[in-house]
Amino acid sequence: MTRPATPLIRELGRADYEPTFAAMRAFTDARTPETRDELWIVEHPPVFTLGLGADRNHVLAPHDVPVVQTDRGGEVTYHGPGQVVIYLLMDLRRNKPGGKLYARQFVAKIEQAVIEVLAAYNLAGERVAGAPGIYMADGPKKGAKIAALGLKVRGNGCTYHGVSLNVAMDLAPFTWINPCGYSGLATVDMRTMGVDAPLADVQQALAQELVRQLATEPELNNL
Protein backbone atom coordinates (compact mmCIF):
# COMPACT_ATOMS: atom_id res chain seq x y z
CA MET A 1 0.00 0.00 0.00
CA THR A 2 1.32 3.43 -0.91
CA ARG A 3 1.83 5.64 2.13
CA PRO A 4 -0.37 8.77 1.99
CA ALA A 5 1.22 12.07 1.05
CA THR A 6 2.50 14.22 3.90
CA PRO A 7 -0.24 16.59 5.07
CA LEU A 8 -0.20 20.05 3.54
CA ILE A 9 0.48 22.71 6.18
CA ARG A 10 -1.48 25.95 5.71
CA GLU A 11 -0.74 29.07 7.72
CA LEU A 12 -3.91 31.11 8.19
CA GLY A 13 -2.39 33.81 10.39
CA ARG A 14 -4.83 35.60 12.70
CA ALA A 15 -8.36 34.57 11.73
CA ASP A 16 -11.80 34.78 13.32
CA TYR A 17 -13.11 31.52 14.69
CA GLU A 18 -16.50 31.20 13.00
CA PRO A 19 -15.32 31.59 9.37
CA THR A 20 -12.51 29.12 10.09
CA PHE A 21 -14.99 26.65 11.57
CA ALA A 22 -17.19 27.01 8.49
CA ALA A 23 -14.17 26.50 6.20
CA MET A 24 -13.20 23.29 8.02
CA ARG A 25 -16.68 21.86 7.53
CA ALA A 26 -16.77 22.95 3.88
CA PHE A 27 -13.36 21.36 3.22
CA THR A 28 -14.51 18.12 4.84
CA ASP A 29 -17.83 18.14 2.95
CA ALA A 30 -16.02 18.53 -0.36
CA ARG A 31 -13.10 16.16 0.15
CA THR A 32 -12.80 12.86 -1.71
CA PRO A 33 -10.71 9.75 -0.96
CA GLU A 34 -7.96 11.41 -3.03
CA THR A 35 -7.97 14.74 -1.17
CA ARG A 36 -4.67 15.48 0.53
CA ASP A 37 -4.81 15.82 4.31
CA GLU A 38 -4.15 19.31 5.68
CA LEU A 39 -3.03 20.94 8.92
CA TRP A 40 -4.23 24.51 9.43
CA ILE A 41 -2.17 26.75 11.72
CA VAL A 42 -4.17 29.68 13.08
CA GLU A 43 -4.27 32.23 15.89
CA HIS A 44 -7.75 33.31 16.94
CA PRO A 45 -9.03 36.53 18.50
CA PRO A 46 -10.65 35.85 21.89
CA VAL A 47 -13.47 33.29 21.71
CA PHE A 48 -15.06 30.63 23.90
CA THR A 49 -16.10 27.49 22.04
CA LEU A 50 -18.55 24.86 23.26
CA GLY A 51 -18.28 21.18 22.41
CA LEU A 52 -21.32 19.03 21.74
CA GLY A 53 -21.50 17.97 25.38
CA ALA A 54 -20.83 21.41 26.81
CA ASP A 55 -22.96 22.98 29.51
CA ARG A 56 -23.26 26.75 29.09
CA ASN A 57 -23.25 27.00 32.87
CA HIS A 58 -19.50 26.35 32.65
CA VAL A 59 -19.20 29.88 31.23
CA LEU A 60 -19.09 31.62 34.60
CA ALA A 61 -18.52 35.35 34.38
CA PRO A 62 -19.97 38.28 32.46
CA HIS A 63 -17.64 39.14 29.60
CA ASP A 64 -17.52 40.45 26.04
CA VAL A 65 -15.92 37.32 24.59
CA PRO A 66 -18.11 35.62 21.97
CA VAL A 67 -19.39 32.12 22.77
CA VAL A 68 -19.67 29.78 19.76
CA GLN A 69 -21.37 26.39 19.67
CA THR A 70 -19.33 23.86 17.67
CA ASP A 71 -19.67 20.22 16.64
CA ARG A 72 -16.45 18.96 18.22
CA GLY A 73 -16.29 16.70 21.22
CA GLY A 74 -15.60 18.00 24.67
CA GLU A 75 -16.65 20.91 26.83
CA VAL A 76 -15.96 24.65 26.85
CA THR A 77 -12.52 26.04 26.03
CA TYR A 78 -10.92 29.38 25.24
CA HIS A 79 -8.90 30.46 22.22
CA GLY A 80 -7.05 33.74 22.06
CA PRO A 81 -3.91 35.59 20.95
CA GLY A 82 -0.65 33.93 21.93
CA GLN A 83 -2.02 30.42 21.52
CA VAL A 84 -1.03 27.89 18.87
CA VAL A 85 -4.12 26.33 17.28
CA ILE A 86 -3.70 23.57 14.70
CA TYR A 87 -6.67 21.99 12.99
CA LEU A 88 -6.21 18.48 11.64
CA LEU A 89 -8.19 17.77 8.48
CA MET A 90 -7.34 14.11 8.13
CA ASP A 91 -8.74 10.92 6.63
CA LEU A 92 -8.10 8.27 9.27
CA ARG A 93 -8.94 5.44 6.88
CA ARG A 94 -5.68 5.88 5.04
CA ASN A 95 -3.39 7.04 7.80
CA LYS A 96 -2.48 3.55 8.93
CA PRO A 97 -1.09 1.14 6.36
CA GLY A 98 -3.46 -1.79 6.02
CA GLY A 99 -6.39 -0.25 7.82
CA LYS A 100 -7.98 2.56 9.77
CA LEU A 101 -6.26 4.68 12.39
CA TYR A 102 -8.69 4.65 15.29
CA ALA A 103 -9.74 7.82 17.05
CA ARG A 104 -8.03 6.91 20.33
CA GLN A 105 -4.76 6.27 18.50
CA PHE A 106 -5.15 9.57 16.66
CA VAL A 107 -5.70 11.43 19.94
CA ALA A 108 -2.67 9.73 21.49
CA LYS A 109 -0.48 10.83 18.57
CA ILE A 110 -1.67 14.44 18.88
CA GLU A 111 -1.03 14.43 22.63
CA GLN A 112 2.41 12.91 22.10
CA ALA A 113 3.27 15.66 19.63
CA VAL A 114 2.49 18.28 22.28
CA ILE A 115 4.55 16.38 24.87
CA GLU A 116 7.52 16.25 22.50
CA VAL A 117 7.33 19.97 21.68
CA LEU A 118 7.13 20.89 25.36
CA ALA A 119 10.13 18.63 26.04
CA ALA A 120 12.11 20.50 23.40
CA TYR A 121 11.58 23.61 25.55
CA ASN A 122 12.51 21.69 28.73
CA LEU A 123 8.93 21.45 29.95
CA ALA A 124 7.41 18.18 31.13
CA GLY A 125 3.87 17.52 29.99
CA GLU A 126 1.70 14.49 30.68
CA ARG A 127 -1.66 12.96 29.89
CA VAL A 128 -4.39 12.62 32.52
CA ALA A 129 -6.68 9.60 32.15
CA GLY A 130 -10.18 10.59 31.07
CA ALA A 131 -9.27 14.24 30.47
CA PRO A 132 -7.94 14.84 26.94
CA GLY A 133 -5.21 17.44 26.65
CA ILE A 134 -1.79 17.90 28.20
CA TYR A 135 -1.03 18.93 31.78
CA MET A 136 2.14 19.98 33.58
CA ALA A 137 3.86 16.89 34.98
CA ASP A 138 5.92 18.45 37.76
CA GLY A 139 6.81 21.60 39.66
CA PRO A 140 4.56 24.08 41.43
CA LYS A 141 2.13 24.10 38.50
CA LYS A 142 1.80 20.29 38.36
CA GLY A 143 -1.65 19.37 37.08
CA ALA A 144 -2.28 22.70 35.34
CA LYS A 145 -3.53 22.40 31.78
CA ILE A 146 -1.34 23.79 28.99
CA ALA A 147 -2.92 22.22 25.89
CA ALA A 148 -6.48 21.33 24.92
CA LEU A 149 -7.78 18.89 22.35
CA GLY A 150 -11.16 18.54 20.68
CA LEU A 151 -12.04 16.67 17.51
CA LYS A 152 -14.89 15.86 15.20
CA VAL A 153 -14.58 12.44 13.56
CA ARG A 154 -17.22 11.83 10.92
CA GLY A 155 -18.54 8.38 10.18
CA ASN A 156 -16.38 8.23 7.06
CA GLY A 157 -13.22 8.65 9.15
CA CYS A 158 -12.57 12.29 8.22
CA THR A 159 -11.59 14.64 11.03
CA TYR A 160 -11.53 18.34 11.76
CA HIS A 161 -11.02 20.63 14.77
CA GLY A 162 -7.76 19.91 16.59
CA VAL A 163 -5.36 21.01 19.29
CA SER A 164 -4.37 24.24 21.05
CA LEU A 165 -1.18 24.94 22.99
CA ASN A 166 -0.88 27.98 25.25
CA VAL A 167 2.32 29.91 24.52
CA ALA A 168 2.08 33.50 25.77
CA MET A 169 -1.51 34.48 26.51
CA ASP A 170 -3.71 36.61 28.67
CA LEU A 171 -4.83 33.72 30.88
CA ALA A 172 -7.61 35.65 32.64
CA PRO A 173 -10.40 34.41 30.33
CA PHE A 174 -9.70 30.83 31.43
CA THR A 175 -10.87 31.90 34.90
CA TRP A 176 -14.22 32.91 33.42
CA ILE A 177 -15.00 29.30 32.53
CA ASN A 178 -14.67 25.81 33.95
CA PRO A 179 -12.04 24.74 31.42
CA CYS A 180 -13.18 21.53 29.72
CA GLY A 181 -15.92 21.32 32.36
CA TYR A 182 -13.60 21.09 35.37
CA SER A 183 -14.27 23.59 38.13
CA GLY A 184 -11.13 25.27 39.36
CA LEU A 185 -8.82 23.67 36.80
CA ALA A 186 -5.68 25.80 36.59
CA THR A 187 -4.48 26.79 33.14
CA VAL A 188 -0.95 27.86 32.28
CA ASP A 189 1.07 28.85 29.24
CA MET A 190 4.69 28.36 28.28
CA ARG A 191 5.55 31.91 29.36
CA THR A 192 4.19 31.23 32.86
CA MET A 193 6.47 28.19 32.96
CA GLY A 194 9.51 30.36 32.17
CA VAL A 195 9.72 29.80 28.41
CA ASP A 196 9.78 32.92 26.24
CA ALA A 197 9.30 31.48 22.76
CA PRO A 198 8.02 33.26 19.64
CA LEU A 199 4.55 32.02 18.71
CA ALA A 200 5.63 31.35 15.12
CA ASP A 201 8.42 29.06 16.31
CA VAL A 202 6.06 26.98 18.43
CA GLN A 203 3.50 26.87 15.63
CA GLN A 204 6.06 25.38 13.27
CA ALA A 205 7.49 23.02 15.89
CA LEU A 206 4.06 21.59 16.70
CA ALA A 207 3.02 21.29 13.07
CA GLN A 208 6.19 19.42 12.16
CA GLU A 209 5.92 17.14 15.19
CA LEU A 210 2.29 16.35 14.34
CA VAL A 211 3.38 15.37 10.83
CA ARG A 212 6.12 13.19 12.30
CA GLN A 213 3.84 11.50 14.81
CA LEU A 214 1.14 10.84 12.25
CA ALA A 215 3.67 9.19 9.92
CA THR A 216 4.60 6.58 12.53
CA GLU A 217 2.88 3.30 13.24
CA PRO A 218 0.55 3.29 16.27
CA GLU A 219 2.02 1.54 19.29
CA LEU A 220 -1.05 -0.45 20.19
CA ASN A 221 0.39 -1.77 23.44
CA ASN A 222 0.69 1.76 24.79
CA LEU A 223 -2.83 2.91 23.93
How far does CA 137 lie from the centroid of its chain? 19
Edge-first strand order for the sheet with 47-50 is 67-69, 47-50, 76-79
Three-state secondary structure call for residue 133: strand
The verdict on whether 158 is a catalytic residue reads no
Residue 174 carries which side chain, given as an amino acid letter?
F
Dist CA 83 CA 78 (whole Å): 10
Radius of gyration of the chain (CA): 17
Catalytic residue (one of 153, 167, 180, 199) = 180
pLDDT in tens, the chain (223 residues): 445 679 999 999 999 999 999 999 999 999 999 999 999 999 999 999 999 988 888 888 778 999 999 999 888 899 999 999 999 999 998 755 555 678 889 999 999 999 999 999 999 999 998 888 999 999 999 999 999 999 999 988 999 999 999 999 999 999 998 776 666 689 999 999 999 999 999 999 999 999 999 986 544 433 3
CA atoms within 13 A on the CB side of 74: 26
CA-to-CA separations, 20 to 65, 85, 116, in angstroms, rounded: 17, 11, 27
